[in-house]
Structure 1
Amino acid sequence: MRLSVTSWSFPALTLLEVAWVARALGLDAIDVGLFYRSALDKAEILSDPRAAAEPLRGLGVAIANYYHLFGDGLADRNIALSGSVAANLRDLERVLAFAEAAAIPTVFVLPGIVNPGQSREAAARVAAQSLRVLLEVPGARQRLCVEPHVHSWAESPALVRRLVDETGVRLALDYAHFACLGYRQEEVDPLAPHAAHVHLRQARPGALQAKFAQGTLNVPAMLGTLRDAGYDGYVALEAVHQDYMGTLFDDVLTETVALRDAFNHWRG
């Protein structure tokens, strides 16, 4: 396993500055996305994937993962929304071409929400149907993964495991989203064999992000579970400063260093 850091952890920094911070912390990879000052140009990714990939080669770090939103926000064109799959399919072909050109091993998308008029069961059914189509795009089974998250339809380990069983999709696994909702770490552990990418931050029941010393996640146990499950990809440090779920109040740099040190101490 190797460390990266998410570019959206530092909303005021440019992408190059995020790369500099990563290197200063001894990290050789970053995750990229569509948010804040470091945002990639989504329109360029969809219109000219190779041109969009070119600037990433000059950052001096590897790109561990790309976080893609199909629509404008969490609701627009989410994969649990009926009628969105055709447009998302067209975009995914371009996104995967971009990832290949930029040597990005994984791309994660979100599982979708419970849309107006839906039940959770209906959202799960549409999302599974959509994913089965999306995973037929060449390269999707190697690169595409889904991140279960708070406020999606996929908020329990059991629902996520059912999605994996029904589609074969792999996961961008973040234990914090489950811990926040009160699930025990051992309830999340069975998802580890299905991880294609991992996010790491501290959390506790009721708090999606906690200061390292105040969280309830057992980080060494988590890392050991991932290793024993055969995971050998990136572990992305994802302490954030966002107006979402009370994550505006932590010193992101201090928390990132604490997470890095915990990983390095466990690795020995």
Structure 2
Amino acid sequence: MKLSLASWSLRSLTLDEAAGLSRVLGIGALDLGYFYKPGLDREALIADPDGTADRVLQLGVALPNLYHLFGGSLSDRNLADPRNRERNEADFRQVVRFAKRAGLASVFVLPGVVNPGQDRVSALTESAESLRRLVAISAPEGIQLTVEPHVHSYLESPTLVLDLLYRVPGLKLTLDYAHFACLGYRQEEIDVLASHAAHVHLRQARAGVLQCKLALGTLNFGAMLGTLRAAGYNGYLSIEYVHQDYMDGQHDDVLTETVDMRDCVREWLA
């Protein structure tokens, strides 16, 4: 297992500076996204995936994963709304072209929300159909499509996640234990998802709190890493401390917590 940084953690740095910090910290890998100062321009990527890929290949770090958001919010063009499929699939073809040229192993998307008139079951059904079509685009190009279950999506329990994975062969997870811990799930209830992970996000959490200081949360990272290893996971562990409005994530020193998490993982791996 190898460490990475999430570019959206470093919201005030340029993309080049974020890559440089990753090297300085001895990590040497950076997840890409569309957010804050280091974010890629989504419309430019879709218009010119090859040119955007050539640019990021100059960063001098490994590029494990792209966080692709289809619209401008969690609900905009979300995958549980069938009206979005044609536009989303057209964009995703360009995203896959970018990922392949840039050497990314995977792309992660969000599963969707409970839209007006839906319940969780109908949202899952529509999302599964959208995701099957996206897997059909990414898989032949060797790009792993992953989905991240998250707070405020329809996909807020391990049971629902397993149901979705059953319905969408070839789909894997970007797994962030924090989203489930925040919702009150015990760590052992989340462990069932480890064998389905193709990418992992790391940050500390506790019930009702999506992100907190390493010493103030309930996630046992030694146990988590052991579960992942036992499940055969050998991919990237992306440290994802953030400073943003979502779920009141504005109270932690991102750099300090990033370094503490780096050292926690290094100690266990050693």
- Give me the TM-score of the superposition, normalised by structure 1: 0.98
Distance 1:45 1:160 in 2: 30
Asked if 1:23 is matched to 2:16, the reply is: no
Tell me the equivalent position of 2:186. Answer: 184
Deviations 1:67-114 (A, max 9, x none): 001112111110001221111111111100000011011100000000
Tell me the equivalent position of 2:265. Answer: 263
Aligned partner letter, 2:135: L
Tell me the equivalent position of 1:158. Answer: 159
Is the CA contact 1:171–1:196 (under 8 Å) kept in the aligned structure 2?
A: yes
Deviations 1:23-79 (A, max 9, x none): 111101001100000110111211111001111111111111100011121111100
Equivalent positions of 1:17-166 (< 5 A) are 17-139=17-139, 142-166=143-167
Equivalent positions of 1:229-240 (< 5 A) are 229-240=231-242
Aligned partner letter, 2:54: E
Is the CA contact 2:96–2:143 (under 8 Å) kept in the aligned structure 1?
A: no
1:138: Cα distance to partner?
4.4
Q: Unaligned stretches of 5+ in structure 1?
A: none
Distance 2:71 2:10 in 1: 23
Aligned partner letter, 2:95: V
Distance 1:183 1:155 in 2: 10
| Secondary structure, counterpart of 2:185 in structure 1 | coil
Tell me the equivalent position of 2:202. Answer: 200
Deviations 1:225-267 (A, max 9, x none): 1111111110000011111111101000110011001100000
Selected match of 1:244 from 242, 246, 259? 246
Change (3 A) 1:23 1:184: same
Q: Unaligned stretches of 5+ in structure 2?
A: none
Deviations 1:166-221 (A, max 9, x none): 11210000000000000011111011111010000000000000100001000011
Is the CA contact 1:96–1:139 (under 8 Å) kept in the aligned structure 2?
A: no
| Secondary structure, counterpart of 1:182 in structure 2 | coil
